[in-house]
Amino acid sequence: MREYDVIVVGAGPSGSASAYFLAREGLSVLLLEKERLPRPKVCAGAVPLAVEGLLGFGVGEAVEGKVQAVTWIWRSDRATWRYPEPVLYTVMRDRLDALLVSKARAAGAQVLEGERAVRLDEGRNEVLVFTERGRYRCKFLVGADGAGSIVARYVGDVDPRRVVSTAEAEIWMPYEFLKACRGRAFVEIGAVPRGYGWVFPKADHLSAGIGGLGLRGVRKHLEGFLRSRLPGPVRMEVRIWAYPLWGARRRWVRGRMLLVGDAGAFANPLTGAGIYTGIWSGLLAAESLKEALSRRDLEDAYIRRVLGKMAPELYAARNLGLVYAFPGLTFRVFQLGLFRRNFLRGSYLGIWRHLTLGLGGYTSTQF
């Protein structure tokens, strides 16, 4: 049985990015995916352009749309922020994941599809991964297998109070309506308790959904949101999912195993977005594993990077979650144009620091 430096379980953005970063460094990597690729995944699919800086390559072939205007909605009121250039990409997960997996393969990672991990056995110097079809040996293991991660069961528990429930519909509309939505994202503040609703443009359809912390009855909430914001769709596919936000997990590494992406609860606690933070956690994991293979302590290496690089941004985003307690006031702030330059392109930590020092440093910005 061949031994790998690292086995990555799960070929979503965090797992395939981890495999890519590791293989790029010359490590032997096996990426295990339980399904056949490409496969659909529920995801709002809004990604900041900064993701390309993390990856070191463009994701243009997976991009469905480019957002240059964001319309905020509160009851019957609207406020639109316009930008001279795109601030968000919209993607479909099957295409994005396929792109990232292809990059991991090209970098030297071995990819096995249809291999569901069912059991793990950690020894002093190795980890054995048992799948429905075989077993594999590695020095270290990355759990990138999402909210229901089998690897996470070996690492630590999730706080159920920090789990967001979502319902999303892929909606095919008449061409003229789609054309009017091109390049624009719509976000309804307070569409659901402790959450929001969204409509994002894709190449030939719209993605619309709702999400809220501990939200119940998500399908009913989605139906109400769609009735109030969209005309009758031509065709619609609905998916429901739940996943943990930052703050739901206190432990990301144990022994020779570590967690990335939704398995590690790295989703942004303000927006619920998980692609960028998942890839970021994959980059930090790769750096930590390379250090650990040089006989350094994996737990120290990974926690040091997570707490030093990601945590300040994510804790600031969690603090900014107070906007959900005051949706009307939040909308008025957005209506004035405050935070427009920074909210989508800047640092959550920077915004939080300005808030704690007072709003004097922010003015309405015109482009």
Contact assessment for residue 20 and residue 103, using Cβ atoms and an 8 Å cutoff: yes
Q: Is 95 exposed, middle or buried (0-12, 13-18, 19+ CB in 10 A)?
A: middle
pLDDT of residue 343: 61
Distance CA 195, CA 61 (A): 31
Pairing of strands 184-189, 69-74: parallel
Residue of 271, 190, 170 lying closest to 230 (CA atoms): 170
Same fold, 3-63+91-157+248-318 and 161-244: no
Instruction: Please give the average per-residue pLDDT across 271-276, as a whole number.
Output: 95
Domain ranges for the chain, please list them: 3-63+91-157+248-318, 161-244, 327-361
Per the model's pLDDT, the better-predicted residue between 360 and 145 turns out to be 145
Q: Which two tokens stand for residue 299?
A: 């737990």
Q: Which two tokens stand for residue 71?
A: 């319309």
Contact assessment for residue 4 and residue 28, using Cβ atoms and an 8 Å cutoff: yes
- 262 DSSP 8-state letter: G
Percent of the chain with pLDDT over 70: 95
Percent of the chain with pLDDT over 90: 81
pLDDT in tens, 339-350: 777 665 567 887
User: Which ranges of the chain would DSSP assign to H, the alpha helix?
Assistant: 13-24, 51-55, 93-107, 150-155, 175-181, 218-229, 275-293, 298-305, 311-319, 327-335, 340-343, 348-357
- 160 DSSP 8-state letter: G
Whether pLDDT at 364 is above 50: no
Residue of 204, 156, 348, 214 lying closest to 271 (CA atoms): 348
pLDDT of residue 366: 29
pLDDT of residue 344: 59
Contact assessment for residue 243 and residue 262, using Cβ atoms and an 8 Å cutoff: yes
User: What class has domain 3-63+91-157+248-318?
Assistant: alpha beta
pLDDT of residue 205: 94
pLDDT in tens, 114-161: 999 999 999 999 999 999 999 999 999 999 999 999 999 999 888 989
pLDDT of residue 357: 64
pLDDT of residue 349: 82
pLDDT of residue 367: 23
Position 290, amino acid: K
Kindly write down the DSSP assignment for every residue of 44-72, as one continuous string: --EEETTHHHHHTS--GGGEEEEE-EEEE
pLDDT of residue 342: 67
Q: What is the mean pLDDT of the chain?
A: 92
Assigned CATH for 161-244? 3.30.9.10
**In Å, what is the CA distance from 207 to each residue of 38, 76, 212, 247?**
19, 21, 17, 27
Prior bond of 38 cis (ω within 30°) = yes
Distance CA 92, CA 95 (A): 6
- 231 DSSP 8-state letter: P
